[in-house]
Amino acid sequence: MTIFAANLNNRMNETDRIVALREELHRHNYNYYVLNQPTISDQEFDALLRELQDLESSHPELFDPNSPTQRVGSDLTSDFETVLHSRPMLSLANTYNKEEVREFYERVRGGLEDEAFEICCELKFDGLSISLHYEQGRLVRAVTRGDGVQGDDVTANVRTIRSIPLQLQTGGDWPQEFEIRGEILMPWSSFEALNREREAREEPLFANPRNAASGTLKQKQTSVVAQRKLDAYLYYLLGDQLPAEGHFENLQAARSWGFKVSEAMRKVQTLEEIFDFIDYWDTERRNLPVATDGIVLKVNSLRQQRALGMTAKSPRWAIAYKFQAEQQSTVLREVSYQVGRTGVVTPVANMDPVQLSGTVVRRATLNNADFIAQMDLHLGDHVLVEKGGEIIPKIVGVDESFLASGERGPRIEFIHNCPECGAELVRYEGEAAWYCPNDSHCPPQIKGRIEHFVSRRAMNIDTLGPETIDELYERRLIRDIADLYDLTVDQLNGTHGERERSARKTIQAIADSRSVPFERVLFALGIRFVGETTAKILARAFRDVDALARASLDDLLQINGIGQATAESVIRWFQDPDNAFLLERLRSHGLQLALSEEVLAAQSDRLAGYSIVISGVFAHHSRDEYKALIEQHGGKNVGSISKKTSFVLAGENMGPAKLEKAQKLGVRILSEDEFLSMIQ
């Protein structure tokens, strides 16, 4: 055999091995993440995966985005493309009591003119709605619900979710093209682990698994998504060549193709069977590995669904029954206090552990001093803790059944001094919160301000996370944001130089931040009450930091959108000698402390006094670019339509609800071209 023939034969063998490994690993993923019945050990799985990775590295021409190796994600960042749904993703009408379920059942009976019908009862998973598109058995696109008409293409992130098949099982009778919808979820175990990590880094905790799943799926690094171990349940199949006429039957088929479909789904006929299903899962849901917040009832027949039709917002053939928020009684043992980035001091209740909506709860927010006084809380009180699908655990009252003895512990009094630095707390007029005013020397505020400064929407030094900032602070390498610009690669690359690559990346990101425009630098400074929008307003009004520093209270209050609290906060910040010194250091490091000549030349007052809503998909510019243009020309971006809206900038497929409201209120609708002509 010639060397060429031997090499060709070897390549063919490796190609066959790649195909075989991909099929085998897809099957093992299905067995483990969908069936919960692994047939090989983790070590054996990892060995097969490593073999496939090595072979794919040797044969880049055989790259496949649906390969099992792609589930680990990457560190590359990407923006999300907006995609129109082929069929609108409507929301369901909600009900909170059985009487309304009865009314729904009777409406269906009347709408079908007493024709026999079946109801499919399903769990309502509390996650992020997703639409998955398959062609020839391969995942080609994953799109979030968005506004129901269009959503974000999150295919790269969804590929990391191991319970979602990338390639359907060989020999399945699936249609050539179809769409399947469901819910992306973060299991309770993953949610608790993630919040433990965030708590250790003193990061804000996610309120619930749904928020965590949503935030994770919008991550720009697929490697982060892969680490957080999301899950998915699928609950609706759409297409032109579905296997059955019944919704329930279609999902059974989807399960056989490799999709994770809930085993809890039941097909019933009577109202009593529906109530039995609700009663059973109102209790049993607490034992599920994922969050649920209700029951979904759907007419099973697709023909009958079409006959019943839709309202403007939701289908007439389905309804969601929402469970009441769960409440438990436990003992309040201690109140601790946390200091945030802006100096806000938040009281936290530390309680005896209690099981609540699938998690063990030991801590709950107490909001502020007024909340504590209003509740008349005492140490040792039995308190009622609530945690619905939308909220962080919170105390909603004292359990009065334990007050009969009349004996209570000491009344809880809000602290007077900062628990971190000892400074006397202050309370600003009109504010419910107490603040630590020692923002220059209070450790949590210093580290929090640095974290804010490096964040993506501020200076975008995204290689510096909370752990690294904490380490650099403890090593006394940084004490304020200006210190970042004195860091060197040697200080960041570890004891034995093991982090040199990431260190160089960080130093480059710090250098790149010198070109961040003035309005973002102003936002990054972390002045209390100065968010992104306020920073843009101040930057446009004063044009450079020196003019802003000289501004009087009256000067600031003359600006539309600047209130008393914000104006006073800006004055205080610039009057602080430490901040004046900080600004001079930032200036010496070359940060942008004035609007550029290019921005100044492009500014105008053509849209001054206009409140503008943006809706739809655009051809010439992105939505963010249009928002920037509106602000550049003196206009104000608003999120919802009201009588005060000046006009709607509308692209293709404007949201139907916004279109209806604009027409009802007589609000003008401008196309892209009309808007661009307006601002010349």
Which residues are the active-site residues? 124
AA letter at 550 = R
Q: Are strands 344-356 and 138-144 parallel, antiparallel or unpaired?
A: unpaired
Burial of 283 (0-12, 13-18, 19+ CB in 10 A): exposed
Interacting residues of 228 by C-beta distance below 8 A, sequence separation 6+:
186, 190, 194, 212, 216
Beta-bridge mates of residue 134: 139, 178
| Cβ count near 25 (within 10 Å) | 19
Q: Are strands 647-650 and 668-670 parallel, antiparallel or unpaired?
A: parallel
Burial of 29 (0-12, 13-18, 19+ CB in 10 A): buried
Own/partner long-range contacts of 55-60 (Cβ < 8 Å, ≥24 apart): 55/14, 55/17, 55/18, 55/21, 56/18, 58/14, 59/11, 59/14, 59/15, 59/18
User: In this structure, what token pair is assigned to residue 563?
Assistant: 């209130």
Closest Cα to residue 208, out of 71, 13, 387?
387
CA distances from 523 to 449, 463, 570, 573 (A): 11, 19, 12, 13
Q: Whole-angstrom Cα distance, residue 230 to residue 157? A: 10
AA letter at 304 = Q
The answer to whether the CB of 164 falls within 8 A of the CB of 139 is yes
The answer to whether the CB of 295 falls within 8 A of the CB of 321 is yes
Q: How far apart, in Å, do the first and last CA atoms of the chain sit? A: 73
Place of tokens 């880094």: 201
Interacting residues of 142 by C-beta distance below 8 A, sequence separation 6+:
130, 131, 132, 133, 153, 154, 155, 157, 158, 159, 164
Q: Whole-angstrom Cα distance, residue 410 to residue 408? A: 7
Place of tokens 């070590």: 43
Place of tokens 């968005």: 146
Beta-bridge mates of residue 612: 637, 647
Place of tokens 């063998």: 13
How big, in percent rounded to 5, are the helix, strand and coil portions of the chain?
A: 40, 20, 40
Q: In what order do the strands lie in the sheet with 94-95?
A: 94-95, 318-322, 292-299, 119-125, 266-268
HSE, CB side, 13 Å, CA atoms: give it for residue 596.
12
Q: Whole-angstrom Cα distance, residue 278 to residue 336? A: 39
Closest Cα to residue 24, out of 169, 225, 180?
169
**Helical packing angle, 209-217 and 188-200, nearest 10°:** 80
* Strand segments (E) across 136-203: 138-144, 150-152, 177-185
Query: What DSSP string runs through 225-253?
Result: HHHTT-EEEEEEEE-SS-S-SBHHHHHHH
Closest Cα to residue 502, out of 513, 511, 493?
493
Closest Cα to residue 335, out of 374, 380, 291?
380
